[in-house]
């Protein structure tokens, strides 16, 4: 695709940085599993933990398209680092930037942007994932603050967080209308990281379970307004899906990179040449959808359908492209020497996190019908 000069330059520099600084540690993280701490530190030093936030708040003041490109390039060489960056920015920081008070923004965003700690998003619970309106964590208002009880599951980077956006219900009888979001500092008594998951892939990304036991948070820790939590996390997830699309695009590109390197000085059969061409086309189509969603977001318009397009297509492309690359190259492609073997395992999360493929299809079908009705 043709990109404006500023993006061509940004991407070229991003690629060079990722190859030089992020890629060398990727295999080690995959094989031995420690959290990608040094890579996160390198992102922080480059300003990449706050790409889309204004400079006054410590960000880089760049647009969402640049941010999506950065996540793509990081994930192309190390998906664990890409997911950590995407979750921190789109889930852990965006809601504070978009819905926080001036006081909350000035307190938290500069720290998050410079990487003083990671920001995370606690929505999913043991009995509430796709049906996020069914969360069971509760918040009770008192004169001293809100007392939160409950638990959260599969929370990215939770063991390394300084703040967590916690969704809890002030009144469970109200269903989704009872939900409120809170900014919780992880040093708060009653906050506990209960366990860490061992996963199929993304070995360098932390995924943990959180427990809140009579956790008292101040009255001014409400994000936005009381009872407005459902709208806040739904809008947060929309933007998050662009970064998950970019993360998947990076892994799909990794499959294509591996094929290009492998077939560069080898004779290809007709089937191998078809496989290479098909992967190249699908990766480009995924890129168009991801960049399109990012560009629309940059205009300030809400983009649920386009975000769902980007996430659904890029995640299924990443899984498919890694499989095709492995089939075309042969058994060597599943050894630890080949980055596509790692990407094949890492890519599965793309079809699950921030809404499964089934949920994306439900959003798309609903939006398409609504648009058709409105245009009649
Ligand atoms: C590595 C990892 C990192 C994550 N990070 C975070 C995070 O930082 N913060 C956070 O809050 N959550 C996080 N999650 C949770 C993730 O968003 C949920 O796993 C996801 O939304 C699916 O929810 P669930 O696991 O409860 O599955 P379920 O909702 O139980 O779904 C199980 C299956 O049923 C299908 N299904 C469910 N409902 C329907 C329906 N109505 N129609 C058709 N099919 C349906 C789903 O598509 C899926 O295939 C993470 C998950 C993983 C694996």
The CATH number that applies at residue 22 is: 1.10.540.10
Q: Which atom of ligand 1 is nearest to the CA of 197?
A: 1
In this structure, are 32 and 49 located in the same domain?
yes
Ligand 1 pocket member 14 (CB < 6 A): no
Q: How far is the CA of 356 from the centre of ligand 1 (A)?
A: 6
Ligand 1, atom 9, lies closest to the CA of: 155
Q: Which atom of ligand 1 is nearest to the CA of 202?
A: 1
**Residue-range definition of the domain harbouring residue 370:** 230-375
Ligand 1 pocket member 240 (CB < 6 A): no
CATH number for the domain harbouring residue 289: 1.20.140.10
In this structure, are 261 and 370 located in the same domain?
yes
pLDDT in the model for residue 51? 98
Q: How far is the CA of 125 from the centre of ligand 1 (A)?
A: 10
In this structure, are 349 and 242 located in the same domain?
yes
pLDDT tens for 165-217 read: 999 999 999 999 999 999 999 999 999 999 999 999 999 999 999 999 999 99
In this structure, are 247 and 314 located in the same domain?
yes
Ligand 1 pocket member 201 (CB < 6 A): no
pLDDT tens for 242-281 read: 999 999 999 999 999 999 999 999 999 999 999 999 999 9
Ligand 1 pocket test target in 157, 352, 363, 365 with most atoms within 8 Å of CB: 352
Q: How far is the CA of 170 from the centre of ligand 1 (A)?
A: 23
pLDDT tens for 109-123 read: 999 999 999 999 999
Q: How far is the CA of 355 from the centre of ligand 1 (A)?
A: 6
CATH number for the domain harbouring residue 126: 2.40.110.10
In this structure, are 172 and 237 located in the same domain?
no
Cα distances (angstroms) measured from residue 355 to each of 165, 232, 311, 318, 376: 18, 15, 9, 16, 30
Instruction: Flag whether pLDDT at 338 surpasses 90.
Output: yes
What is the average pLDDT across 286-308?
Answer: 95
- Active-site residue list: 354
Instruction: Look at residues 59, 90, 117 and tell me which one is the last residue of a structural domain.
Output: 117
pTM of the shown model: 0.97
In this structure, are 212 and 334 located in the same domain?
no
In this structure, are 157 and 293 located in the same domain?
no
Ligand 1, atom 6, lies closest to the CA of: 155
Ligand 1 pocket member 349 (CB < 6 A): yes
Ligand 1 pocket member 109 (CB < 6 A): no
In this structure, are 181 and 79 located in the same domain?
no
What is the average pLDDT across 345-370?
Answer: 97
In this structure, are 104 and 162 located in the same domain?
no
Ligand 1, atom 29, lies closest to the CA of: 130
Ligand 1, atom 30, lies closest to the CA of: 129
Ligand 1 pocket member 150 (CB < 6 A): no
In this structure, are 235 and 367 located in the same domain?
yes
Count how many domains the chain has: 3
pLDDT in the model for residue 81? 98
pLDDT in the model for residue 251? 98
pLDDT in the model for residue 330? 96
Instruction: Look at residues 205, 227, 249 and tell me which one is the last residue of a structural domain.
Output: 227
In this structure, are 239 and 317 located in the same domain?
yes
Ligand 1 pocket member 122 (CB < 6 A): yes
Q: How far is the CA of 351 from the centre of ligand 1 (A)?
A: 9
Ligand 1 pocket member 132 (CB < 6 A): no
In this structure, are 72 and 200 located in the same domain?
no
Ligand 1 pocket member 204 (CB < 6 A): no
pLDDT tens for 20-48 read: 999 999 999 999 989 999 999 999 999 99
Instruction: Look at residues 117, 137, 152 and tell me which one is the last residue of a structural domain.
Output: 117
Ligand 1 pocket member 197 (CB < 6 A): no
Q: How far is the CA of 237 from the centre of ligand 1 (A)?
A: 12
């Amino acid at each position: 695709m043709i990109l404006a000069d500023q993006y061509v330059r940004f991407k070229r520099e991003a690629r060079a940085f990722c190859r030089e600084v992020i890629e060398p540690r990727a295999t080690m993280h995959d094989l031995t599993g420690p959290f990608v701490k040094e890579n996160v530190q390198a992102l922080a030093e480059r300003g990449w933990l706050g790409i889309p936030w204004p400079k006054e708040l410590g960000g880089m003041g760049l647009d969402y398209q640049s941010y999506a490109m950065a996540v793509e390039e990081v994930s192309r060489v190390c998906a664990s680092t890409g997911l950590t960056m995407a979750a921190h920015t789109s889930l852990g920081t965006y809601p504070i930037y978009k819905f926080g008070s001036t006081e909350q923004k000035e307190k938290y965003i500069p720290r998050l942007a410079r990487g003083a700690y990671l920001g995370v998003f606690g929505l999913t619970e043991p009995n509430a994932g796709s049906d996020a309106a069914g969360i069971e964590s509760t918040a009770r208002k008192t004169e001293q603050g809100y007392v939160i009880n409950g638990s959260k599951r599969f929370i990215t980077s939770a063991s390394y967080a300084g703040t967590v956006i916690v969704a809890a219900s002030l009144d469970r009888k109200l269903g989704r209308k009872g939900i409120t979001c809170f900014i919780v500092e992880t040093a708060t008594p009653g906050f506990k990281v209960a366990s860490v998951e061992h996963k199929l892939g993304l070995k360098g990304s932390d995924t943990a379970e959180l427990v809140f036991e009579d956790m008292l948070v101040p009255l001014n820790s409400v994000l936005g307004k009381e009872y407005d939590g459902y709208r806040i996390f739904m809008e947060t997830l929309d933007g998050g899906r662009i970064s998950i699309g970019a993360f998947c695009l990076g892994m799909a590109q990794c499959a294509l990179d591996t094929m290009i390197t492998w077939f560069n000085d080898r004779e290809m059969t007709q089937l191998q040449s078809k496989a290479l061409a098909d992967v190249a086309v699908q990766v480009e189509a995924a890129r168009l959808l991801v960049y399109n969603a990012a560009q629309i977001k940059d205009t300030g318009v809400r983009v649920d359908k386009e975000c769902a397009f980007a996430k659904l297509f890029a995640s299924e492309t990443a899984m498919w492209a890694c499989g095709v690359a492995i089939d075309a190259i042969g058994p060597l492609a599943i050894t630890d020497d080949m980055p596509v073997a790692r990407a094949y395992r890492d890519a599965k999360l793309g079809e699950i996190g921030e809404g499964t493929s089934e949920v994306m299809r439900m959003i798309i079908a609903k939006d398409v019908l609504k648009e058709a009705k409105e245009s009649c």
